[in-house]
Amino acid sequence: WWTVAAALPRAPWGVAASSSSSFSSSATSDGSCTDDEKDPENVLRQFIQQHKPDCRINFKIQGWRWHTMSLIREASRLASALSSWSSSSSSSSEQQATTAKVDFQTVADYVVQFNMRGLHRIQDDLFFPWVRQEIQTRCLDPAVAAAFSAVMTQLERQQTELERLGKQLQTQLSRNTIDQASRTTATLAATAQGMLKTEDALLVPIVAHFVPVREQVSFNNKVIRSL
């Protein structure tokens, strides 16, 4: 994914689009909710809205995004297949059920052990530490730096949740609980999609603003060499 990303079409960015916040908000006296000015995501959104970084030109680490999209796509396909099988399995023979179980385990192994594990290895070992260090070094606004750190911590927690869901999925398939496996896979895909929304809305434009293109290209080449 890292080597072919440059040749693939890019999705619209929607920098100013809102993403589902994992942080708290405050309420007004009439009970309606208003964004807390100190909410980390809102701090970053305000900064991005003010500076409007050009992500199409100034963000070059595309392989990571496309790898994330690959995980979402494959997990969604598996969830759909599991759901379809669960709905029709009552009319299947024992041999068909056994074959389906083996097939689902094989696909789940690819999604969890190959696709997701490969993505998380890059994020844990290279991408997340590099992003944290770059913004900590280059961002001179303490509020923005602290907000970015808080969002990164939340993304890391969500990544841990993805790993838990992956293990749960494989356990459920080994026990042939297809209904549960279908729901778990759908949750895994939705969690990864939520992470990507946050990353596209907040992480990508912050990196595009603070980190020079040449440094991003150098890092991307480092990732490719590690594959």
Is residue 170 within 8 A of residue 109, CB to CB? The reply is: yes
Is residue 110 within 8 A of residue 170, CB to CB? The reply is: no
User: Which pLDDT tens digit goes with each residue over 91-123?
Assistant: 667 788 888 889 999 999 999 999 999 999 999
Higher-confidence residue of 43 and 96: namely 43
Higher-confidence residue of 4 and 56: namely 56
**Radius of gyration (Cα) for the chain, nearest Å?**
20
Looking at the domain assignment, is residue 10 inside a domain?
no
Q: What is the pLDDT of residue 196?
A: 97
Looking at the domain assignment, is residue 24 inside a domain?
no
In the DSSP assignment, the letter for residue 91 is G
Phi, psi angles (nearest 5°) of residue 133: -65, -40
CB atoms within 10 A of CB 34: 9
Longest alpha-carbon distance in the chain: 65
Using alpha carbons, list the distances in angstroms from residue 121 to 17, 53, 125, 128, 220.
Answer: 29, 28, 6, 10, 15
Is residue 63 within 8 A of residue 5, CB to CB? The reply is: yes
Q: Is 109 exposed, middle or buried (0-12, 13-18, 19+ CB in 10 A)?
A: middle
Q: Which of 12-26, 132-146, 158-172 has the lowest mean pLDDT?
A: 12-26
* Per-residue tokens: 223: 């990732």
- The pLDDT confidence band at residue 3, using thresholds 50, 70 and 90, is very low
Number of domains composing the chain = 1
Q: What is the pLDDT of residue 16?
A: 36
Looking at the domain assignment, is residue 158 inside a domain?
yes
Looking at the domain assignment, is residue 148 inside a domain?
yes
Higher-confidence residue of 77 and 27: namely 77
* Start-end of H helices in the chain: 40-51, 55-58, 62-88, 94-109, 117-122, 128-138, 142-174, 178-198, 204-210, 213-226
Phi, psi angles (nearest 5°) of residue 33: -90, 145
Looking at the domain assignment, is residue 34 inside a domain?
no
Looking at the domain assignment, is residue 132 inside a domain?
yes
- The pLDDT confidence band at residue 15, using thresholds 50, 70 and 90, is very low
Looking at the domain assignment, is residue 116 inside a domain?
yes
Q: Report the amino acid identity of residue 97.
A: A
User: Which pLDDT tens digit goes with each residue over 143-165?
Assistant: 999 999 999 999 999 999 999 99
* Per-residue tokens: 45: 């959104």
The dihedral formed by the CA atoms of 66, 67, 72 and 73, expressed in degrees to the nearest 10? 70
- The pLDDT confidence band at residue 214, using thresholds 50, 70 and 90, is very high
| Domain hosting residue 91, numbered range | 62-226
Rounded CA-CA distance 167/186 in Å is: 14
CATH of the domain at 172: 1.20.120.520
Q: Report the amino acid identity of residue 32.
A: S
Looking at the domain assignment, is residue 83 inside a domain?
yes
Q: What is the mean pLDDT of the chain?
A: 86
Q: What is the pLDDT of residue 86?
A: 85
- Neighbouring residues of 131: CB distance < 8 A, sequence distance ≥ 6: 152, 203, 207
pTM given for the model:
0.82
Q: What is the mean pLDDT of residues 5-29?
A: 43
Is residue 6 within 8 A of residue 59, CB to CB? The reply is: no
